[in-house]
Structure 1
Amino acid sequence: MTSQPVVVAVVVTYNRRELLQTTLAGIASGTRVPDAVVVVDNASTDGTAEFLRDYQGPVTTDVVTLNTNVGGAGGFVVGMERALLDHGAHHVWIMDDDTEPQPNALREALDVSLAYQQETGQAPAFIASRVVWTDGRDHPMNRMRPRMGASEEARSTAARLGATQIRSASFVSVLIRADEIREHGLPIADYFIWNDDLEFTARVSRRGTALTTNASVANHHTKVFGDAGADPGPRFYYEVRNKIWVYTRSNALAPWEKVLFTGASLRNWTRTIAASPNRKVLLAGLFKGLRHSLRAPRSNAQVLDGVYALRNVQEPVR
């Protein structure tokens, strides 16, 4: 690696042109900007394609326009592979189109990654930004809990650098080492939305180190302040199906973690359904998700067939 690692940002967008503008402006205004930005347009119909065609930012922008919406999961598979193969990324900085990285977000993440490697001799798998809502409060949808079972030495080392060891993170400003993607594979495209980030980040951090630092901040421009249980409507189907896939079809979590996470999910689903004015919709999503979770996720090549030709299919290490 060179003294200045190559960083490629990957942004996945679908029908949120105005929010995408904010995301790209946030990236471009950073005290450290990436060497390139890969924008994956999931077949938007709101003028996003026209905006991207005319967009001229200060960072090299590589636009990939898909002919079908393959969700955030499929979009990140495409964008991350592009970042590695076409742009020679050492780090891939990923985010949704409702993310607004603050000026020091990338620089601080890189600084913490380098400092941790210098102190321990081990490069962290990824660095996640602190995620806040539009009013500056920590966003409950992106809350990262300290890693259970981390040693006192590991916790102290991270704390000295202004960081915390974590187990997983959402795809809202996460800086991932390219070598981790090569070793553990890409996300799983068949998740479409929700929990693809949980599965991927938990997979790469299971035997490695993952950190979050408050010095790196990103705003998450969701419509409401809440987590995935804030009356998700028909999308509850993906929450149920994908969580069960994580617990039964992936090696991302240790057996004891699967037990704890399953119990927490059952409790959260019960609360979500009980509090919803659309219980019929959520119950339909619950039973459909349970039914469809019985089959394994399709391979990335199958999901993206006819949409995007993967040139180096890095299937997840299961």
Structure 2
Amino acid sequence: MGERVCAVIVTYNRKELLRECLQAVLSQTRPPDHVLVVDNASTDGTPEMLREEFPQVEVLRLPENQGGAGGFHEGMKRAYEQGFDWLWLMDDDTLPSPRALEVLLLEGRALFRGSFVVAREDEGRTAFPYPLKEGNFSSAVEEIERGYPDGRIEGFLHLFPGTLIHRAIVEKVGLPLKALFLWGDEMEYRLRAQKKAVDMETLTRAVVYHPFDRQSIKRIRFGKRTVQLPFHKDPCRHFLILRNQVYFYHKYLGSSRLALRLLLYALFFPSRLGLLFKAILAAYRLSGTNSHPLERKEG
């Protein structure tokens, strides 16, 4: 018997997008062995739609909205405990191309494999930037594919749109940190995996479609170096971005890089200094309480 794959899809109040996503997942040339939808307490008729149109899909309905971080935490935990070998992770706004899972399984080498995330609004662009070999980043599909003619970007991936993760990685790295809720939980998980020397890759022939990154970016140039500061017009979402960035910069990237980032935020977003201060306090409170269940302790 071959290795078994569970697709884990997190949704919240977007039943039309979820319907499209499920249709694409169930129509794969190599379909997953099981599909688990984690419903973050949707109120738009999602449960009814799932019962009527997708009775073959398992639904894990959470009692309250726990954000993307909580949704993937609970979904990955359920699929892991059910014994699946591979977990194929995505939000409800991810639309996998017909061969995406087949390519991930057949062409991947690492146990942590990323799909190539192309923008739904423009198939010539990626939804998120990818690194080029000379150290720059690009969102131009042709340029990225030209830079990686073997179809493999080693050491990098974007979570969670179409990520394929082996259960051995869950054992080693743990589960997403629920407390991050939204905006940055995917970066924290990738940094945590990198800290544990987990091999990862993106396969450019495993295409999934996803909306452009909804964060706005302010780019600041220092000679040849560019610093990107994400922000959001909604103060609540901007708070989550700030808090979660302070958390993972402090935990994984170093105090000097964090200090520079905080200084730049203060200079370029002076109207939100109060929000920045609250985010810093919340991030340091968070750093003293986090845990990653299933994570294997080293040493």
State the TM-score, normalizing by the size of structure 2: 0.79
Q: Separation in 2 of the partners of 1:270 and 1:105?
A: 43
Any idea what the Cα deviations from partners look like across 1:143-194, whole Å, max 9, x if unmatched?
2336999xxxxxxxx9574201134522111111111101121110000001
Quote the sequence identity (%): 32
**In the alignment, which residue of structure 1 is the partner of 2:90?**
95
Is 1:109 aligned to residue 104 of structure 2? yes
Alignment partners' CA distance in 1, 2:199 and 2:238: 31
| Contact 2:246 2:258 survives alignment (8 Å) | no
For the pair 1:125 / 2:146, whether they are aligned, the reply is no
Q: Could you say which residue in structure 2 is the equivalent of 1:309?
A: none
Q: Tell me the alpha carbon deviations over residues 100-138 of structure 1, each in whole angstroms, 9 at most, x when there is no partner.
A: 11111111111222xx3xxxxxxx131111111122133
Q: Give the 3-state SS of the residue equivalent to 1:127 in structure 2.
A: strand
Amino acid at match of 1:217: V
How far apart, CA to CA, are the structure 2 residues paired with 1:79 and 1:208?
21
CA RMSD of aligned residues (A): 3.1
The answer to whether the aligner puts 1:247 opposite 2:242 as a matched pair is no
**Secondary structure of 2:286's match?**
coil
Give the structure with the larger strand fraction.
2
1:291 matched residue in structure 2: 281
Cα offset for 1:84?
1.0
Unaligned runs of 5+ in 1: 117-123, 150-157, 274-278, 302-312
Distance 1:102 1:182, change over 3 A: same
Q: TM-score, normalised by structure 1?
A: 0.75
Which residue does 2:226 correspond to in 1? none
Counterpart of 1:182 in structure 2 is 171
1:139 equivalenced with 2:126 (yes/no): yes
Note the C-alpha offset of 1:232. 5.1
Distance 1:133 1:191, change over 3 A: same
Q: Name the CA distance, whole Å, in 1 between partners of 2:183 and 2:81.
A: 26
1:234 partnered with 2:236: yes
Written as runs of structure 1 = structure 2, the 5 A alignment for 1:23-62 is: 23-56=21-54, 60-62=56-58
Conserved? CA contact 1:14–1:44, under 8 Å: yes
Is 2:294 the partner of 1:314? Answer: yes
Q: Which amino acid aligns with 2:63?
A: N
Confirm or deny: 8 A CA contact 1:167 1:205 kept in the other structure.
no
Deviates further, 232-241 or 217-226: 217-226
CA contact (8 A) 1:147 1:166 kept: no
Shift of 1:267: 4.8
- Specify every segment of 5 or more residues in structure 2 that has no aligned partner in the other structure, as ranges: 136-146, 218-229
SS at match of 2:248: helix
